[in-house]
Amino acid sequence: MENHSAEQNPNACIVCGTPEYEDGYAHKMCRDCRTKMAELKIPNWVKFFALGVVALTLVDAVRLPNSLLAGIHYQRGENAEMQNKYATAEKEFKYVADIFSKSVENNAKLIISSVHNLDLKEAFAAAQMTSGKTSDEASLITEANSCLNVVDAYNPNANLDSLLEKLKDTPDNVKTALLYAYSTEHSEDNAVRLLLAEKLFDAGNFTATDSLLNFCTFYTPSNPIILQLKGATKREMKQYDSAMWYYNRLFDWNSESVIAISGKSRIEFKRHHDAEGMKLAQQAYATDSTDIYGIEGLSLAYYLTGKTHEANAMLAKIKAIAPDDTTIYNRLNNDLTGKTHFR
């Protein structure tokens, strides 16, 4: 019997030994053998093993330890902080706080980022979580306390708090007169000046507002609370370059300041630079879509560019996010209904 093995014929099919192999392939095989090889089925156990590996990988991803996730977000927060991007940093530290609410170090970071965003409600909540607790990170705690001191400089003291409680139901004109009297007797108290300045700003008395804020800027020239109100006041006084200067100072404090971006948007709308105003309003909202000032700014931008439906949608969002903040809601509602005129 003739032997057609590959040993006898180096050009034969490597499977059956027939000399009639197909050209054009890396391995010499005849047509029948190549067809049978292509029809081979993958054993089920191989499939199941492969699927098992994939499943285990997915389970590990889903069950990624919370501590690892928290560490990733904490590092992202620190990276954003180093770049002066405190809107991003606050979001990251909030994520960590949802996992480890009692972490002193993370709450200290949350205080720092929240104050830089003038998100004082979040800052005070984080401060309460760290009250009475200790940490080895002394420099971090010192920085957090320094940020709280920035805010505390304009928090009413016990005497002013007591007066405000007594004047709670007093008409605004009487309340303003009594607060002026208090400020004369307590010349060292800048908190009452800020309070008066806010009331005068809301009443449209921008010259008097600016005068009061001059005292505050003398004592605390870099305080972001004063800078943002000073910028808004200069804008309403039509001193637009000066207003821009104050808002730019806020970027030194926080390069992602939604208040500053939104404030600059309003200046551009006052100047009738609507395209630039809209661009800035959208930038502020994109930076933090939950920031009430950014929402207000975008709503106003929509209104001023004829997009009434979108403007009202933003107004409704303010109501949903901050139902207790009637000042901003009423101010915006007055603009959208024509009760007041932004320009």
Q: What is the mean pLDDT of residues 31-46?
A: 51
pLDDT at residue 236 tops 80: yes
pLDDT at residue 44 tops 80: no
Phi, psi of 221 (to 5 degrees): -65, -20
Using CA atoms, how far residue 186 sits from 6, 183, 332, in Å, is: 108, 5, 34
> Amino acid identity of 335?
D
pLDDT level of residue 110 (50, 70, 90 thresholds): very high
Alpha-carbon distance of 44 to 23, in angstroms, equals 33
Judge residue 57's burial from the number of C-beta atoms within 10 Å of its C-beta, 0-12 exposed, 13-18 middle, 19 or more buried. Answer: exposed
pTM for the full predicted model: 0.75
Alpha helices, DSSP H, located in 167-205 = 172-185, 190-202
Question: Over pLDDT 90: what percentage of the chain?
Answer: 53
pLDDT at residue 51 tops 60: no
- Residue linked to tokens 């809301």: 202
Higher pLDDT, 142 or 65: 142
Domains in the chain and their CATH numbers? 66-152 (1.25.40), 153-241 (1.25.40), 254-343 (1.25.40.10)
Using CA atoms, how far residue 256 sits from 244, 259, 260, 283, 289, in Å, is: 15, 9, 8, 10, 13
Sign of torsion over alpha carbons 212, 213, 218, 223: positive
Contacts of 139 by beta carbon, 8 Å cutoff, 6+ apart: none
- 3-class secondary structure, 1: coil
Angle between helix 158-166 and 172-185 (nearest 10)? 160
Q: What is the mean pLDDT of residues 244-250?
A: 96
pLDDT level of residue 61 (50, 70, 90 thresholds): very low
Contacts of 269 by beta carbon, 8 Å cutoff, 6+ apart: 277, 300, 301, 304, 342, 343
Per-residue model confidence as pLDDT tens digits over 96-109: 999 898 899 999 99
Sign of torsion over alpha carbons 99, 319, 297, 203: negative
